[in-house]
Structure 1
């Protein structure tokens, strides 16, 4: 029997079923950069949907990543066949590392000509994005597309969350289909009570406990619970290496600072703590080869993580697997332990000083100034790897869901992510702090910000080089002062790039003028780029 559209006598097609499914799921923002194989989806585009256009597919996925993180709901992405997925892969990789729920569709040539290896054909389309999607498929039949997208959504939202991909041939959209009824599916699982009891007993009996918090704390809405757990046990709180979120208030007396991605330094900084609980974190995220133990001698490691793969590869310790918030709440339900003395507080960095005459301002001065003029509840989206330790010292974060960066180390995420966050949080100010090298991976995001009239302040830290590589070269035996090829970035006019894409821009060299420029930019009702010359 032929299906008809519920509101009229027209046939009910795959396109109707997919639009209806997305509407039921609240996924009415489509992030994309269209190609020929995607056009059939957008015929008779519904008025209650919006299309967020990015000028390159990595920008599209970055915007969708920021939007999904800020809303804590899966975003919907539409890419163009093999080439579009290829362009997007850097930020698909980042979304996978960020654990960002995202339903990605990719166009495919018509089924009737696939055997002829046609132009724009994605050969093995479901394999192309692996291993950096949780699941991918090209449905066997056109009428299977709506059900495949429903399955993709449930997988994307199931912890640990992440991106999924469905390849859809161009001629599938007009085939007849049946409506999909959205089901109630639980996405959070409670950790094993027996293992939680072991963790709780270890914390209760510890002399000097410490917590190591990761992105999953803030991602999983466990911020308040983790603060309460730290206060209950008077535990010092460190941030795990390469964390893409802030998961503990950095002005709290128990905040102990940031762990680097180096084995020996992690052991050194955790020294003196007999019980270490990693919450929502892969404690052992290393960036360079190391030697020796993974934790200090005499310490015991415990872990609460939503990702069983992380629990599997962790070299030491006892791990509970499941939702972070539910696990911490269960730990808080235990009888209160004996009172402990408050540990020593972390030393604060010295105040940054303005430069001497003729010198460029320091990143510390720039970030200290930004910290003083911004609303503490404004949202920082950061991608300045060479300046990260300075940013952490001079631009502290105090509130949940007010800091985003990439967990992957892949550049080109945060400039478009700021656009997605601003779309999701229209009542909050979004400030993107981006290195000059990083910004060039996704500079087209400025156009999307301008077209959408989002009042984002883009702060470009212009040191005219890939400074992170120059610093990192020492790890690989480079001598002080030795040239590192391919790391100089002279003669980029960021104000000109911004204006060419519809954004206002201003250049700042004088450290004493920075405050007024930032105050004006933050107050602006439109996107504006501030190019800051730094040493």
Structure 2
């Protein structure tokens, strides 16, 4: 994984050999040291494209060609989940932005930094070509995504464009992080430079200066936590570097706290640590509910849906220390801010900065040894493959590897794999936008390309089919990765919902599959991978064959291949996921149809 060291760029003019507006824009991108720009080609930024190729030699940033704008954003999303830094994305006018909007919403909900460069036909109507420039120009193009980007602008000159890009670069890297969007006028890109054009001063890599909590609030939080007898830490999204990981462990040991993790956030605390509460999932599990009910203080480290989680646990009137900057991003349009939590002390800081400050105020705890991880035997005599069977096959074949799971399906049992490193598992996509998985898998694998980690993504078949063309970029860029499709040949999440509704209404549950199955004919998922230049295996329905194929697939990934394995599994969810999908009736009672 390559991360860019934070350094200040010199304040200087655009390079002397720059001739066009788009040359200056490329000089700005070089000043940020962003390594890649993901794009689907479009005429609205033909000037920028020429400058990247003929002025900059397609190097730093290099172009990642994608087959759809939504995939370009998803790839940048996956990249940032690993690196913590923004990738650049270029979108073709209003039509490209509309294509990309779902993926931008995912990145917004997941608080991902991203420098998105849009483009438009000439804003000066007299400069537009007939027909095409008119339908690809909008009076306020960013309005399409303004409610789920952190900042946007539509500058109309080369100096203004450079300043807007510099501002967008600063804002996207400042917590709370989210994508920013700057539109480049096609006429500005193709404008010949006259005289000296000043380059804004920018820094590279992570932004050093971030919002922080006051000394008084930190003192109050430390006093409250240090007197607790049964504290619980809710470990939400945070940094993935080793230093932050170790500080979270030290804090839990200093407090004698139990720690609950969330599969949506990825792994933020070792599941092998004795403090970790079993049952990590996309919803709160039974053990987590018990831990919260017995807690006397809760420390929220940027937890996703704090109020909803406490409500699910039936916990009220408990002291809560909340370390998050998320309230600063709420805008009212999207409800991704969740229900309003009632907190005793709010620490307006990035969670890992709060952890570091709290450690300075607390005595050290006793280090605890990790628990061993045990794998069960492979059920080779099984008549069909379940998701738990697939997990065991992966465990056997990845036992000598160092895997990073970029994505896991909704049915994954959080206790089936003891993630114990900060890059073990990256979490979900933020917005629940089906189709994001393949692109995020490619982006994460690209970020891991020069490391010893083996990128693995376990995707549902619906997610895979909606985003499958993103995989072409992996083949094109020769990005090693393993994609395993847990293929239940249905939109099973909706099957579960239809079953619940039918039971509530005393209707025929057997008809829940109608309009939900991806079958008759079953799509050739491995064939879709092979058609794009990847290695594809499947559909696999036999456990012994699956074990053999998985061993071959892992070896091929280690040799540099991009591999897809289609595994046909029995539909089903983990207990925590099934419980989380239960909706309350109007009288407040749960409808349990199990």
TM-score scaled by length of structure 2: 0.80
Q: Following the alignment from structure 2 to structure 1, what is the Cα–Cα distance between the partners of residues 365 and 235?
A: 23
User: Hey, what does 1:527 align to over in structure 2?
Assistant: 562
Summarize deviations over 1:457-502 as a string: whole Å, max 9, x none: 1101111111122123345454643425421011111111111111
- For residue 502 of structure 1, the aligned residue among 518, 533, 551 is 533
Q: Following the alignment from structure 1 to structure 2, what is the Cα–Cα distance between the partners of residues 376 and 279?
A: 30
1:225 aligned counterpart, secondary structure: helix
Deviation at 1:85, TM superposition (A): 0.8
Equivalent residues of 2:378, 2:393 under 8 A apart: no
Equivalent residues of 1:261, 1:286 under 8 A apart: no
Equivalent residues of 2:14, 2:198 under 8 A apart: no
Deviation at 1:298, TM superposition (A): 6.0
Counterparts in 2 of 1:116-265, with a 5 A limit? 118-175=134-191, 176=193, 178-184=197-203, 186-218=208-240, 222-240=244-262, 243-257=264-278, 258=280, 261=283
Count of residues in Structure 1 that have an aligned counterpart in Structure 2? 521
1:488 aligned counterpart, secondary structure: coil
User: Hey, what does 2:341 align to over in structure 1?
Assistant: 315
Q: Following the alignment from structure 2 to structure 1, what is the Cα–Cα distance between the partners of residues 468 and 198?
A: 40
Pair 1:271 & 2:293 matched: yes
1:481 aligned counterpart, secondary structure: helix
Equivalent residues of 1:274, 1:300 under 8 A apart: yes
Cα distance change of structure 1 residues 422 and 349 upon mapping to structure 2, 3 Å threshold: closer
Cα distance change of structure 1 residues 460 and 143 upon mapping to structure 2, 3 Å threshold: same
Pair 1:365 & 2:389 matched: yes
Cα distance change of structure 1 residues 329 and 371 upon mapping to structure 2, 3 Å threshold: same
For the aligned residue pairs, the C-alpha RMSD in angstroms reads 3.1
Pair 1:460 & 2:491 matched: no
Deviation at 1:351, TM superposition (A): 4.1
Cα distance change of structure 1 residues 408 and 321 upon mapping to structure 2, 3 Å threshold: same
Equivalent residues of 1:213, 1:279 under 8 A apart: yes
Deviates more, 1:317-326 or 1:459-468: 317-326
Q: Following the alignment from structure 1 to structure 2, what is the Cα–Cα distance between the partners of residues 221 and 61?
A: 29
1:42 aligned counterpart, secondary structure: helix
Q: Following the alignment from structure 1 to structure 2, what is the Cα–Cα distance between the partners of residues 144 and 37?
A: 18
- For residue 87 of structure 1, the aligned residue among 87, 99, 106 is 99
Q: Following the alignment from structure 1 to structure 2, what is the Cα–Cα distance between the partners of residues 29 and 346?
A: 40
Q: Following the alignment from structure 1 to structure 2, what is the Cα–Cα distance between the partners of residues 468 and 98?
A: 21
Equivalent residues of 2:487, 2:567 under 8 A apart: yes
Equivalent residues of 2:434, 2:466 under 8 A apart: yes
Q: Following the alignment from structure 1 to structure 2, what is the Cα–Cα distance between the partners of residues 410 and 459?
A: 19
Equivalent residues of 1:66, 1:420 under 8 A apart: yes
Deviation at 1:186, TM superposition (A): 3.9
User: Hey, what does 2:8 align to over in structure 1?
Assistant: none
Q: Following the alignment from structure 1 to structure 2, what is the Cα–Cα distance between the partners of residues 35 and 112?
A: 19
Deviation at 1:95, TM superposition (A): 0.5
- For residue 548 of structure 2, the aligned residue among 482, 500, 516 is 516
Equivalent residues of 2:387, 2:569 under 8 A apart: yes
User: Hey, what does 2:361 align to over in structure 1?
Assistant: 334
- For residue 420 of structure 1, the aligned residue among 437, 443, 446 is 443
Pair 1:411 & 2:459 matched: no
Structure 1: give runs of 5+ residues left out of the alignment: none
2:143 aligned counterpart, secondary structure: coil
Q: Following the alignment from structure 1 to structure 2, what is the Cα–Cα distance between the partners of residues 338 and 120?
A: 61
Cα distance change of structure 1 residues 527 and 338 upon mapping to structure 2, 3 Å threshold: closer
Deviation at 1:180, TM superposition (A): 1.5
Q: Following the alignment from structure 1 to structure 2, what is the Cα–Cα distance between the partners of residues 420 and 92?
A: 15
TM-score scaled by length of structure 1: 0.89
Equivalent residues of 2:459, 2:483 under 8 A apart: yes
Q: Following the alignment from structure 1 to structure 2, what is the Cα–Cα distance between the partners of residues 369 and 31?
A: 34
Equivalent residues of 1:216, 1:281 under 8 A apart: no
Cα distance change of structure 1 residues 108 and 206 upon mapping to structure 2, 3 Å threshold: same
Deviation at 1:303, TM superposition (A): 1.1
